[in-house]
Chain A
């Protein structure tokens, strides 16, 4: 297929552009993709394209079948993105898409992020307060369990008090919202 911009080179980049819900098919060569700004050259354009083109071709047949069966009709309620749109465009439409397509994301993330699926790093300060409290709380609960199993009841009582006060903090933060 010829590049739709220069009609000189072979189109090597194929994608769908969505502007306000209207989809347009784009077929361009690498040169024009950069020249016309379809891909940005300060970003990960070329390697990213390679990555994305292979992103949704699941190698395992079982995954492929599952995703086909479950996702035919799955569409994000918030933004209207369907799973097939998502696999074609390679972009999420909104934050809720992450929940809508949750069942399919781990293999994709593993592939793009060297096997990782869970965030590790900065947490927003304001909404992060609760998240940090919850993390501490989970830690305390595990510790409590261990202490009880080890029959260290005096220590366990101290930890239980800490849990109670944390839970109070959490519900108070929730009430402010």
Chain B
């Protein structure tokens, strides 16, 4: 398979569109946790109950279309190979929990991969909607509409006092997790982000790296999301997140301008060194890849690099993950082979730009 073709399959169609503020905000996501009334949560449900849910979801929603979310595809975890599950995880269409722990798990995915509904994960139903760029409000509207559509057929576990009932006490109430994925290289470089995080936490919001381990954020990509789901209406939660993200965008833009003003040569040097590494290395680890991609993307945004498309960071962050590399190679890879293939895939991708 050619790289072009592989990429077409690997990058979700919705990601190919440019959203608002896409120089800094990569994507917006809304997740709603829901459960069936009268069936224990997956952690304690009997297999026959979980099978009943699978059958129900399949019979009602397989190949259905709701609004622009066309041809929902129902796939059970048991029919997928480990590598296929891994790829869905790396595309953020399913969680590692669903891939590895939910034997009777399944997922409904729309053709554009903009909507995915995980079935029998920690909760019976987890609706996820993705939008490119900064589009939280639209995402929430659409998630509500989709939720209403599901509810036409499903009796949700709901309590007047506690709201939507979920398996984990951290999700009860709205069941909402709103999150925004942001590229914040200048705030990270100038250490300003660390100083902003305590104030953000005070608002019940969390900032974390989504690639990489623990507190480390590979590629300067951060996710900002809400923690509180009880006692705060969805709209208010999204408004809070919205205003924090607006602040972060503003601060990131200021920090970029400051860098350009105070140390333009150092910045240019850093960016072109990273560009050189991506263009010429023969072995590259994911950590270095992420750092260089972040630098190059910043270089594109501030105008140092002109002949590369902006989508390169999003694309290559996804494509150079272990699961995708393995799928590209169509065989198991040792870490050394992975680093070699990663380097050659990046070079090939950059060549597409020149072609």
A and B, one complex? yes
Q: Name A residues whose Cβ lies closer than 8 Å to a Cβ of B.
A: 17-18, 20-21, 30-31, 34, 36-37, 39-44, 46-48, 51-52, 55, 78-81, 89-95, 98, 105, 108-109, 112-128, 131, 134
B174 interfacial by beta-carbon distance below 8 Å: yes
Q: Chain A interface: which of B41-49, B59-67, B248-256, B311-319?
A: B41-49
Q: Verify B159–A91 contact, CB threshold 8 A.
A: no
User: Which residues does chain B contribute within 8 Å of A116, judged by CB atoms?
Assistant: 173, 228, 230-232
User: Which residues does chain B contribute within 8 Å of A21, judged by CB atoms?
Assistant: 44
The verdict on A47 contacting B159 (CB below 8 Å), with A92-B41, A108-B169 known, is: no
Q: Chain A interface: which of B8-16, B92-100, B286-294?
A: B92-100
Nearest-CB residue, chain A, relative to B225:
A44
Proximity string of chain B (227-266) to chain A, C-beta cutoff 8 Å, 1 when within and 0 when not: 1111111110000000000000000000000000000000
Which of A30, A51, A78, A119 has the most CB atoms of chain B within a 10 A radius of its CB? A119
User: Which residues does chain B contribute within 8 Å of A43, judged by CB atoms?
Assistant: 95, 177
User: Which residues does chain A contribute within 8 Å of B355, judged by CB atoms?
Assistant: none
Q: Verify A34–B213 contact, CB threshold 8 A.
A: yes
Q: Verify B44–A93 contact, CB threshold 8 A.
A: yes
User: Which residues does chain A contribute within 8 Å of B47, judged by CB atoms?
Assistant: 20
Partner of A119, one of B96, B157, B230: B230
B280 interfacial by beta-carbon distance below 8 Å: no
User: Which residues does chain B contribute within 8 Å of A41, judged by CB atoms?
Assistant: 96, 210
Partner of A126, one of B101, B151, B162: B151
* B148-191 contacts to A (CB < 8 Å): 148, 151-152, 155-170, 172-174, 176-177
The verdict on A93 contacting B231 (CB below 8 Å), with A37-B99, A124-B156, A127-B155 known, is: no
B276 interfacial by beta-carbon distance below 8 Å: no
User: Which residues does chain B contribute within 8 Å of A37, judged by CB atoms?
Assistant: 96-97, 99-101
Q: Is the interface of A mostly helix, strand, loop or mixed?
A: loop
Nearest CB on B from A110, distance (A) = 9
Q: Verify B148–A125 contact, CB threshold 8 A.
A: yes
Q: Verify A42–B92 contact, CB threshold 8 A.
A: yes
Q: Verify B174–A127 contact, CB threshold 8 A.
A: no
The verdict on A48 contacting B233 (CB below 8 Å), with A30-B213, A30-B214 known, is: no
Partner of A123, one of B40, B95, B158, B210: B158
User: Which residues does chain B contribute within 8 Å of A81, judged by CB atoms?
Assistant: 44
Nearest-CB residue, chain B, relative to A99:
B159
Q: How many residues of B contact A (CB 8 A)?
A: 62
Q: Verify B228–A113 contact, CB threshold 8 A.
A: yes
Partner of B206, one of A17, A47, A52: A47
Q: Verify B158–A121 contact, CB threshold 8 A.
A: no
Given contacts A40-B96, A122-B233, A126-B151, 4 further A-B contacts (CB under 8 A): A20-B46, A39-B97, A93-B167, A119-B173
User: Which residues does chain A contribute within 8 Å of B120, judged by CB atoms?
Assistant: none
Q: Verify A40–B95 contact, CB threshold 8 A.
A: yes
User: Which residues does chain A contribute within 8 Å of B99, judged by CB atoms?
Assistant: 37
A117 to B214, CA, bound (A): 30
Nearest CB on A from B59, distance (A) = 19
9 closest Cβ pairs, A-B complex = A116-B231, A119-B163, A37-B96, A37-B100, A113-B230, A93-B44, A94-B40, A95-B157, A121-B233
Q: Verify A124–B151 contact, CB threshold 8 A.
A: yes
User: Which residues does chain B contribute within 8 Å of A112, judged by CB atoms?
Assistant: 169-170, 227-228, 230
